[in-house]
Structure 1
Amino acid sequence: MSNTLNLIKKDPWLEPFKNAILGRHQHVLDKEVELTDNKRMTLSDFATGHFYFGLHRTNDRWTFREWAPNATKIFLIGTFNDWQEQESFALKRIDNGNWELILPAEAIQHGELYKLKVYWNGGCGERIPAWATRVVQDDATRIFSAQVWEPQEPFQFTKKPFVPKTDPLLIYECHIGMAQQEEKVGTFNEFREKTLPRIAKAGYNCIQIMAIQEHPYYGSFGYHVSNFFAVSSRFGTPEELKQLIDTAHGLGIAVIMDIVHSHSVKNEMEGLGNFAGDPYQYFYQNERREHPAWDSLCFDYGKNEVLHFLLSNCKYWLEEYKFDGFRFDGVTSMLYYSHGLGEAFLNYADYYNGHQDDNAICYLTLANKLIHQVNSRAITVAEEVSGMPGLAVKVEDGGYGFDYRMAMNIPDYWIKTIKEKIDEDWKPSSILWEVTNRRQDEKTVSYAESHDQALVGDKTIIFRLIDADMYWHMQKGDENYTVHRGIALHKMIRLITATTINGGYLNFMGNEFGHPEWIDFPREGNGWSCKYARRQWNLVDQKNLTYHYLADFDAAMIAIINGIKDFQATPIEEIWHDDGDQILAYKRNDHVFVFNFNPVKSFSDYGFLVEPGSYEVVLNTDSKEFGGNGLTDDSMEHLTNFDPLYKKENKEWLKLYIPARSAMVLRKTK
């Protein structure tokens, strides 16, 4: 291994922490050698536990295997044996803490339910197999069971291989259950038929689906996972999810999964919490076992069996369902013994002070190596708030191998700005710095808001801007000042966030049209109602309401970004800012982006030095078609004015009328 990795070469401020960085990198290399039998196989060969463990059908028999080193006896029980322990369904201990059962083909049938009855010294209990690929809940008893899933005609994908478009990556974050208009839990089929066409029409080229892995409590948003290899049955069958993904691919839309490997639900009967009487089989020991803020359990990434389980899980979703990658949830929680709680992360020393979980770092790095080994075009995104250097740097350069990291500072900045500053104090220089504040060698996914801002206890941007007036003044012709202001700023915030990306852009389902209110999943406190766990598409479809203005603008904005080759890779060049006027201008290639955050003052003949030529307006937040005032004539050709002072710089004056609280995008035509 080189004594200096590219991660350090590109950032000399990391030099004092060279030994820690090299040590982490070597840890990954050593662990890979260990897991792959001294490189006699690949990581992909290693990550095949789902083919060995669990229930599998061959021509003439069923084979079931489970890892349960603490068990003393295990029986397979189910509808096929009236849930009774029978010697013919008793597993035999084989090697390395594994158990096995071989049954004739006629012993169990597709659709039957099953569990394990596990005995250990001092106790016993029913458990759902750790590697179960189908888990269902009984409507009457609310009890979960594994289900035999071997359909006679498994789904056949029609689109292969799919090549995601990532220049740029435009993510539509979504949740299947709450994607429908009706007050109920939506399905994969409904999403495929009703929601996918909306996303395609809006111009997004990737969907990030939440809550795919089975979870006992619907209101956890899918983040308290119990069964890591099972598609949540509340949304439909495995075949229906595969059909959704296949249809998305046919529309040119990549599908990435919000994967949860940062923690696990505490449940014992459904989950892994105390699988065979051993609370530490999958999880850290003592005080590190429980996550103090999430009421969940923390995986022991130092165990090879746990690495096998999680790495196999990554490969399973890629190959079985043709997912195009993953957004890894809770990466900050994995990286630090403190889970990032109460940490300030003020300087580089905070990333290399011995408070980091090197086992988790090793797992994440191996996971990225594996994922890209299985599918070189796969997309991986890290949800990480601390700013850990190298997260989205190639493994061979000393990084952790993610393709993107979430720019989590941006939504926090917008919330803080909207809450704490009057409009006159919005400083364009501060705004531009914040949306471009990132490590230059790491690609990010920028976003103004995600599902986090839409949950009960928080507010979406549109709800912060308009609040209660959304209930009374969103009818066309009845808008008041608050609504006009909210609509204007909603467009401007999205425009500056989306057009300053260096990798990707994300929007949460419905936020593009200013979906009102918050998300509140059915729970005892709201009478188990789905009223706020759905999307009111009727609002954007009604042309007499103002919501469609925001959706139309979002689609126009996305179309412009899509229409510029390698948009995310083009440099952002600031042309001008004046915090007094609240004016900002920057360019990317032949496009100029101009913002006037001033709430009351419009400017005539405001000049910017740009390349000589002719410019046309291709997008204007103040256009009447997007709910603006229409104060400018956007059909006008804008010619630059010669100034001998700037002849050597090849710059001329572009003079514009810029209405208050508006933004425009111009393209150089010649």
Structure 2
Amino acid sequence: MNSVKTYTLFTDHDVYLFKEGRHYKLYSKFGAHSVEKDGVQGVYFSVWAPNAKKVSIIGDFNNWNHKDHILFPRWDGSGIWEGFIDELPWGTLYKYAIETARGEILEKSDPYALSWEQNIQAASLVSTTWYEWNDKEWMESRWKKNSLQAPISVYELHLGSWIRDEEDPKRFLNYRDIANKLVPYINEMGFTHVEFMPVMEYPYDPSWGYQVTGFYAATSRFGSPQDLMFLIDELHKNNIGVILDWVPSHFPGDANGLYRFDGSHLYEHEDPRKGFHPDWKSHIFNYGRNEVKSFLISNAMFWLDRYHADGLRVDAVTSMLHLDYSRNEGDWEPNIYGGNVNLEAKAFLQEFNTAVYKEFGDSIITIAEESSDFPMLTKPVHDGGVGFGMKWMMGWMHDTLDYFKEDFVNRKYHHHKLTFASMYMYNENYMMPLSHDEVVHGKASLIYKMKGDEWQKFANLRTLYVYMYTHPGAKLLFMGDEFGQTSEWNFTQSLDWHLLKYPVHKGLHNLVKKLNNLYKTESAFYENQFEKNGFEWIEADDLENSVYVYLRKGKRRDDVLMTVLNLAPKILDYKIKISSGTHWEVIFNSDEAEYSGSGVEAEILEEKYEGENQKFMTIKLPPLAGIILRQKKDKKYKLHRIKYKR
């Protein structure tokens, strides 16, 4: 006898939008929901399995028997199966037993489940995302923090290895324990945002979370959904934004996951040239299928809505947009125009960006991890763009790290690796990433990418950070890089926090704090960070001395900062042309003893005119150092800040 009763949360309009690919709140319909029927509390289940012969609920409540609790198929041909079961408590384990057209019985976890077990064949749990939030003030004003005219300095971290239990280093901390340590640390360091590597449920630790199985479930490694919400809530209460890594590019072939969900290629593209990823041995979503688009865009909405995320960093966008990504000739099929762009994936990303910005406005931000020169990623969809708020500046990252790996005597031959980004830095809205990908798989930690002895390595890295923080664009630094983690990132253990006992590491730590503070307080660094009038080269071609000089400009005419980088291990008395009538003061020097530098003072030796209206400033430059100068305000002019309009 079937113990499932008829029930539905779907209206005809819900089904219509789902089939059209325009239902963006499917998490309120699909999955397991606690509801009341005829005065009895129970759980409503619904799942999409259009090619199934039969779907039943199995779990610890019926000894995993697929014959007792059979769902009802909807009459409308939508492929939705649904039903109500009396008196199931929170925490009930369940799966869908799906009988395929060939008679197989597949045991699948719920694609919309809010919690999963933590094991390789994990079942779903009847759960809830109810939480009493305390971040109203943040939510109402966060548009200011996510504005392109605001400082955005991101600390990227992996929750499983940022810090672990001190008494048992193999044990993960709970989200709440992490909150107690992370919030004061981010406040101390001055970052404006954190970015969590994927928190969606995943079975395989070495994937770092990028092989997602439970797209709507916060990973139970670190606690419950409410525990993660507490962590985000505490960050918000301390004016810290939260960006989540989101992976709509692929999923693993686990037996309990999305692959061959109802015995057919339901979520993945059936053509392996489009549906299988050769690098990651995973499966690629069918972006041309409307129901799949509804699933994915609803998932993005879910994390922004239920978990109050302030942004999504979209992983592996390059692989999504290119049909020939990591494929040899003959292993991919051109689009209808003969090109290599995946038109369905592009259209999906445009729909995703349009939908989330329509729902949340400028209070959130989407960020593309994209490494090619794909055009107009951060331009509006209505102008033909893809609609992202920002894009990772991968070219800047590669050129910069390549330069700092060079011997000092060879740097003059690679001088323009540090100037090349200025040729394209306003083509998109860029975030400069020094991310986890740069400190794994034999690439070495950032400190060991630097040339020279120990002092020179740290001096180089300090100057690299000065370059990053004073360059146009938002900033991202991976955990451990702020104090000079010496070993490559190891996801199985905590960062080497003991290094902060050593002066060179503590000095680097102090420098990052100071740079975050300068970035947030000096408006010339952020007001025009995505505008062409916010940057000007003063000296870009001094190959022999390895010196770079540039200006950053705010909205006020007199709001100007100068950065001077000396990337040679020698002290220079350096002459710089400056505007007539201007005066300058040094406000930062990476060579100060506070940062474990050599303590050489960056002092202005003289300012004088040479010829008619040709003014020069001579300044002592410490070795391997970055200095920042502020233009002194001229009392002759009464200048007003241009009011920023939202």
Q: TM-score range by the shorter chain?
A: 0.7 to 0.9
Which residue of 460, 478, 497 corresponds with 1:537? 497
| 1:119 and 2:83 matched | no
Q: C-alpha distance in 1, partners of 2:338/2:364?
A: 32
1:579 alignment counterpart: 543
Q: C-alpha distance in 2, partners of 1:431/1:556?
A: 26
Q: Is the 8 A contact 1:178 1:186 kept in 2?
A: no
- Tell me, what secondary structure is at the counterpart of 1:511? coil
Which residue of 201, 205, 228 corresponds with 2:192? 205
Q: C-alpha distance in 2, partners of 1:400/1:263?
A: 19
Q: Is the 8 A contact 2:154 2:194 kept in 1?
A: yes
Matched letter for residue 189 of structure 2: A
Q: Is the 8 A contact 1:332 1:340 kept in 2?
A: no
Q: Give 1:131 shift.
A: 1.3
| 1:367 and 2:352 matched | yes
Matched letter for residue 537 of structure 1: W
Percent identity between the aligned chains? Answer: 27
Q: TM-score, normalised by structure 1?
A: 0.82
Which residue of 50, 63, 78 corresponds with 2:27? 50
Q: C-alpha distance in 1, partners of 2:223/2:15?
A: 40
1:327 alignment counterpart: 313
2:64 alignment counterpart: 83
- Label 1:591 to 1:511 Cα distance change in 2 as closer, same or farther (>3 A): same
1:17 alignment counterpart: none
- Label 1:388 to 1:67 Cα distance change in 2 as closer, same or farther (>3 A): same
Q: Which moved more, 1:375-384 or 1:54-63?
A: 54-63
Q: Is the 8 A contact 1:261 1:328 kept in 2?
A: yes
- Label 1:622 to 1:483 Cα distance change in 2 as closer, same or farther (>3 A): same
The one-character-per-residue Cα deviations of 1:383-424 (angstroms, maximum 9, x if unpaired) are 1111101101011111000011110012222333344x3212
| 1:423 and 2:408 matched | yes
The 5 A counterparts of 1:377-416 are: 377-416=363-402
| Unmatched segments (≥5 aa) in structure 2 | 1-12, 554-559, 634-646
Matched letter for residue 281 of structure 2: D
| 1:161 and 2:146 matched | no
- Tell me, what secondary structure is at the counterpart of 1:594? strand
- Label 1:644 to 1:189 Cα distance change in 2 as closer, same or farther (>3 A): same
Q: Give 1:431 shift.
A: 3.7
| 1:653 and 2:616 matched | yes
- Label 1:85 to 1:132 Cα distance change in 2 as closer, same or farther (>3 A): same
- Label 1:351 to 1:451 Cα distance change in 2 as closer, same or farther (>3 A): farther
Q: Is the 8 A contact 2:21 2:290 kept in 1?
A: no
Q: Give 1:267 shift.
A: 1.1
- Tell me, what secondary structure is at the counterpart of 1:193? helix
- Tell me, what secondary structure is at the counterpart of 2:506? helix
Q: Is the 8 A contact 1:641 1:653 kept in 2?
A: yes
Q: C-alpha distance in 2, partners of 1:592/1:404?
A: 25
Q: Is the 8 A contact 1:54 1:132 kept in 2?
A: yes
- Tell me, what secondary structure is at the counterpart of 1:137? coil
Matched letter for residue 428 of structure 2: E
In angstroms, what is the RMSD of aligned CA positions?
Answer: 2.7
Q: Give 1:190 shift.
A: 2.5
| 1:65 and 2:46 matched | yes
Q: Which moved more, 1:659-668 or 1:327-336?
A: 659-668
Q: C-alpha distance in 2, partners of 1:223/1:381?
A: 16
Which residue of 598, 603, 608 corresponds with 1:629? 598
The 5 A counterparts of 1:561-600 are: 561-565=519-523, 566=527, 568=529, 569=531, 571-577=534-540, 578-589=542-553, 590-599=560-569
- Label 1:552 to 1:366 Cα distance change in 2 as closer, same or farther (>3 A): same
Q: Give 1:485 shift.
A: 0.6
Matched letter for residue 460 of structure 1: S
Q: Give 1:439 shift.
A: 5.2
Q: Is the 8 A contact 2:353 2:386 kept in 1?
A: yes
| 1:505 and 2:475 matched | yes
Matched letter for residue 219 of structure 1: P
Q: Is the 8 A contact 1:117 1:124 kept in 2?
A: yes
The one-character-per-residue Cα deviations of 1:459-484 (angstroms, maximum 9, x if unpaired) are 22212237xxxxxxxxxxxxxx6110
| Unmatched segments (≥5 aa) in structure 1 | 1-34, 344-348, 467-480, 522-529
Q: Is the 8 A contact 2:162 2:495 kept in 1?
A: yes
Q: Is the 8 A contact 1:436 1:500 kept in 2?
A: no
Q: Give 1:209 shift.
A: 0.9
Q: C-alpha distance in 2, partners of 1:411/1:350?
A: 31
Q: Is the 8 A contact 2:604 2:618 kept in 1?
A: no
The 5 A counterparts of 1:179-328 are: 179-182=162-165, 183-184=169-170, 185-269=172-256, 271-328=257-314
Equivalenced residues, count: 587
Q: TM-score, normalised by structure 2?
A: 0.85
Q: Give 1:611 shift.
A: 4.8
- Label 1:101 to 1:464 Cα distance change in 2 as closer, same or farther (>3 A): same
Moved >6 Å (runs of 4+) = 35-38, 349-352
- More helix by percentage: 1
| 1:150 and 2:150 matched | no
Q: Give 1:221 shift.
A: 1.1
The one-character-per-residue Cα deviations of 1:271-306 (angstroms, maximum 9, x if unpaired) are 101211113443342432210111100111010011
2:462 alignment counterpart: 491
The one-character-per-residue Cα deviations of 1:350-382 (angstroms, maximum 9, x if unpaired) are 998511110000000000001101111210111
- Tell me, what secondary structure is at the counterpart of 2:534? coil
Q: C-alpha distance in 1, partners of 2:14/2:112?
A: 22
Q: Which moved more, 1:313-322 or 1:608-617?
A: 608-617
1:103 alignment counterpart: 84
